[in-house]
Amino acid sequence: MDKLLLSLLSAYLGLGTFFSFVVAPTLFRVLDKAQAGGVVERLFPIYFGIGIGITLVSLLLGFISGIGKLPYVLLVLALVILLILEFYILPVSHSLKQTDYQAFLKYHGISMAMNLALLLLVFIEVIILLRR
């Protein structure tokens, strides 16, 4: 059970790292700003949705296998961040993009910081699971 949990979280960590540090920056380098923004805007709900699914499955697996209090709390925090990103930050930033670009940039910065925190939480979770 621990190996499946570790595999799921490692896969999401890899996906998140690749998307955040390779795909998104490359899109903005290769395409014009509006096109790149449009592509990334369509990918975010998929990326966060995958994260929500993996985190929910991980919470279930962690509960069944008894991973311990700290790893479980980290998973809950990751889920909270993902839910906020998917159901609050993305819709608000999407609506602001056309009406108030300065406010959009603020939410974009918050989104980037929360995504980085999410990846850090998942990384810590993977380290904890590796040391078990």
Mean pLDDT computed over 18-46: 95
Is residue 132 over pLDDT 90?
Answer: no
Amino acid 2: pLDDT:
85
Per-residue pLDDT for 96 more than 80? Answer: yes
Mean per-residue pLDDT for 37-66?
Answer: 95
d(CA 95, CA 76): 28
Share of the chain above pLDDT 90, in %: 94
- The Cα–Cα gap between 42 and 79 comes to 21
| Exposed / middle / buried, residue 1 (Cβ in 10 Å: 0-12, 13-18, 19+) | exposed
Q: What's the pLDDT score for residue 55?
A: 97
Calculate mean pLDDT across residues 84-95. Answer: 96
Where in the chain are the domains? 2-131
**Mean pLDDT for the chain overall:** 95
* Burial of residue 33, with CB atoms counted within 10 A of its CB: 0-12 exposed, 13-18 middle, 19 or more buried: exposed
Average pLDDT over residues 49-72: 95
Percent of the chain with pLDDT over 70: 100
Question: In which band, very low, low, confident or very high, does the pLDDT at 124 lie, cut at 50, 70 and 90?
Answer: very high
**DSSP letters of 29-63?**
HHS-HHHHHHHHHHHHHHHHHHHHHHHHHHHHHHH
Provide the b/e sequence for 17-28 (b: ≥16 CB within 10 Å): eebbeeebeebe
**Statement: residue 1 has pLDDT above 80:** no
